[in-house]
């Protein structure tokens, strides 16, 4: 069971509507709908607020969420790790990448090793709409390679992008989800200048 399915289950048990839960959490009804359909996941701070609204522990809310839930709240807290947030990477025409850490975000990550390879980046632009919106944070696993179809943070010189990565017989294509943006095509030789920063693992939307 996903966390969205758990939210829906608890909401129905309590007799709440999506609109009612949204009002209690001060979020849009569409945000609750996206949680329940798996299109978005709440961050850990919001998970705590959701648990409070339902009158349950974080443990119960996270039960069956991709793994056996932690046995108690102390274990959940122990798994919180501080991840650096960078501002910003363009998801549109491109902007100079900034390497300044602007914040540290607590995230539920199982191991120190995984946390060491994790960063968050603020996305600017609408080329990845509707999957990633302007202002969203993306949780990124740092790695220098990617599979075709992965959404990546990638550098082309001083320009940084969040795009879907496609490898072709002729080189590399960086593809937007928003059809208003044309694919960015690189020959095999040109693609040698590209540097993958990491692969997007999660989208975190500000409430």
Residue 37 — very low, low, confident or very high, per pLDDT cuts 50/70/90?
confident
Q: For residue 162, is pLDDT > 70?
A: yes
For 109-155, how does the pLDDT look when each residue is reduced to its tens digit (9 = 90+)? 878 888 889 999 989 899 999 999 998 889 999 999 999 999 999 99
Angstrom distance (rounded) from CA 83 to CA 103: 8
User: What is the second-level CATH architecture of the domain 3-78?
Assistant: Orthogonal Bundle (1.10)
pTM of the model: 0.62
Domains 3-78 and 81-204 share a fold: no
CA–CA distances in Å: residue 22 to residues 29, 57, 62, 195: 5, 19, 19, 40
Residue 81 — very low, low, confident or very high, per pLDDT cuts 50/70/90?
confident
pLDDT given at position 168: 95
The set of catalytic residues is 127, 163
Top-level CATH class of 81-204? mainly beta
Mean pLDDT of the chain: 83
State the greatest distance between any 2 C-alpha atoms of the chain, in Å, as a whole number.
59
DSSP element (H, E) containing 74? helix 73-78
What are the structure tokens assigned to 96, written together? Answer: 């100079």
pLDDT given at position 49: 87
Question: Where along the chain do its domains lie?
Answer: 3-78, 81-204
DSSP element (H, E) containing 51? helix 44-54
pLDDT given at position 90: 58
Angstrom distance (rounded) from CA 45 to CA 123: 20
Comparison of pLDDT for 207 and 178, the residue scoring more: 178
Q: For residue 87, is pLDDT > 90?
A: no
Q: For residue 180, is pLDDT > 90?
A: yes
For 51-73, how does the pLDDT look when each residue is reduced to its tens digit (9 = 90+)? 888 888 776 676 544 444 444 44
Nearest Cα neighbor of 41 from 138, 184, 116 is 138
pLDDT given at position 91: 62
Residue 80 — very low, low, confident or very high, per pLDDT cuts 50/70/90?
confident
């Amino acid at each position: 069971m996903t966390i969205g399915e758990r939210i829906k289950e608890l909401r129905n048990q309590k007799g709440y509507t999506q609109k009612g839960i949204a009002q209690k959490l001060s979020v849009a009804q569409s945000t609750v709908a996206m949680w329940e359909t798996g299109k978005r996941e709440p961050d850990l701070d919001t998970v705590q607020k959701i648990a409070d609204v339902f009158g349950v522990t974080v443990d119960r809310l996270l039960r069956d969420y991709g793994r056996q839930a932690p046995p108690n709240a102390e274990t959940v807290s122990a798994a919180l790790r501080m991840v650096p947030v960078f501002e910003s990477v363009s998801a549109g025409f491109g902007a100079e990448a900034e390497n300044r850490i602007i914040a540290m975000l607590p995230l539920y990550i199982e191991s120190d090793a995984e946390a060491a390879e994790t960063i968050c980046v603020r996305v600017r632009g609408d080329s990845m709409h509707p999957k990633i919106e302007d202002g969203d944070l993306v949780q990124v696993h740092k790695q220098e390679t990617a599979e075709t179809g992965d959404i990546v943070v990638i550098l082309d010189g001083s320009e940084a992008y969040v795009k879907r990565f496609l490898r072709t017989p002729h080189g590399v294509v960086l593809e937007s989800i928003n059809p208003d943006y044309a694919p960015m095509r690189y020959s095999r030789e040109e693609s040698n200048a590209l540097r993958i920063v990491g692969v997007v693992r999660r989208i975190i939307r500000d409430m």
